[in-house]
């Protein structure tokens, strides 16, 4: 039964939807934690330090996330490959002008996200949180310091803005898609969910993007949290 479910067209999609939903929740949590950056190092560093202090707990969370993530991608790749085969001979004249951009770009925003994630993990997860890169004004500011120094580089600011807008695009299709795929539909609420999905995608992108911009500004005027 489980095998038949995973091999079926709907089962695979529903697993993509459920893993996608888990990833959306993670992104929301990540975003809320990020917004503490605006309050300064004392507030922001609280979470990473707490998570790191759990030791084994951190490993469990990380492996769980990675498993969900790779399941999401692996199943999607399988679906997309079947889809590419299903047309057979390609259209010469097809008009897709009424296709939504976010939907059309789904596989591509997904790929940009994958690349962005690799860079992002290298930038912040794999670095020593109290190493040289965290030093601002002669003092280590922990993960806050890493973020502060990373966004001194305008190239990285651009990269992150591209990354988070891909994420926003991806979510703007993804959220409403989860609802449809898991089988919920309502004449009144479904259109509202579609709007909310788009709005939420934009909101997530804008809020995430505000951080690199804020820090490149801070780098220009100088950090105000060094006592």
Partner 1 sequence: MGKRLDLTLRIWRQKNTNSSGEFVTYDLENVDVNASFLEMLDVLNEKLTLSGDEPVAFEHDCREGICGSCGAMVNGKAHGGEDKTTLCQLHMRHFKSGDVIVIEPFRAKALPVVKDLVVDRSALDRIIESGGYISVKTGSAPEANQILVKKDLADRAMDAASCIGCSACVAACPNASAMLFTSAKVVHLGSLPQGSTEAASRVINMVDEMKTNGFGNCSNEYLCEAACPKGIKVSNIAKMNQWYKQAMTNQPLSE
- Between the CA of residue 129 and those of 12, 147, 198, what are the distances in Å? 39, 10, 35
CB of 28 to partner 1, least distance (A): 21
Burial of 172 (0-12, 13-18, 19+ CB in 10 A): buried
The DSSP H or E segment spanning 112 is helix 106-120
* DSSP SS3 for 192: helix
What's the rounded Cα separation, in Å, for the pair 225 and 140?
12
Name which position in 183, 220, 221, 222 contacts partner 1 (CB under 8 A).
183
CB 163 within 8 A of CB 120: yes
> Which residue's CB is nearer to partner 1, number 84 or number 227?
84
Site string for partner 1, 186-205 (x = CB under 8 A): -x--x---------------
CB of 126 to partner 1, least distance (A): 34
CB of 224 to partner 1, least distance (A): 46
Instruction: Kindly identify the residues of this chain, within the stretch 106-135, that bind partner 1 according to CB under 8 A.
Output: 106
What's the rounded Cα separation, in Å, for the pair 160 and 90?
36
> What phi, psi does 65 have (nearest 5°)?
-60, -45
Name which position in 101, 114, 119, 182 contacts partner 1 (CB under 8 A).
182
Q: How many residues bind partner 1 (CB under 8 A)?
A: 43
Instruction: Kindly identify the residues of this chain, within the stretch 76-95, that bind partner 1 according to CB under 8 A.
Output: 79, 82-83, 85-95
Establish if 96 lies at the interface with partner 1 (CB under 8 A).
Answer: yes
> Which residue's CB is nearer to partner 1, number 54 or number 103?
103
What's the rounded Cα separation, in Å, for the pair 193 and 185?
10
Establish if 38 lies at the interface with partner 1 (CB under 8 A).
Answer: no
What residues line the site for partner 1 (CB under 8 A)?
A: 1, 4-5, 7-14, 79, 82-83, 85-96, 98-100, 103, 106, 173, 176-177, 179-185, 187, 190
């Amino acid at each position: 039964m489980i095998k038949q479910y995973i091999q079926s067209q709907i089962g695979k999609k529903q697993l993509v939807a459920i893993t996608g939903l888990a990833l959306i929740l993670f992104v929301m949590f990540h975003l809320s934690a990020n917004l503490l950056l605006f309050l300064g190092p004392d507030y922001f560093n609280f979470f990473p330090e707490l998570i790191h202090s759990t030791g084994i707990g951190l490993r469990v969370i990380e492996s769980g996330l990675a498993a969900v993530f790779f399941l999401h991608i692996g199943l999607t790749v399988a679906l997309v490959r079947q889809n590419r085969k299903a047309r057979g001979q390609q259209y010469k004249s097809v008009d897709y002008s009424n296709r939504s951009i976010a939907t059309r770009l789904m596989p591509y925003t997904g790929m940009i996200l994958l690349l962005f994630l690799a860079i992002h993990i290298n930038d912040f997860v794999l670095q020593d949180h109290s190493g040289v890169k965290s030093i601002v004004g002669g003092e280590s500011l922990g993960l806050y310091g890493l973020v502060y120094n990373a966004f001194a580089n305008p190239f990285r600011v651009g990269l992150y803005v591209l990354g988070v807008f891909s994420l926003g695009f991806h979510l703007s299709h993804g959220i409403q898609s989860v609802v449809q795929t898991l089988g919920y539909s309502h004449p009144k609420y479904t259109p509202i969910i579609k709007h909310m999905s788009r709005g939420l995608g934009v909101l997530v992108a804008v809020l995430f993007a505000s951080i690199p911009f804020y820090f490149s500004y801070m780098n220009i005027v100088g950090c105000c949290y060094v006592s």
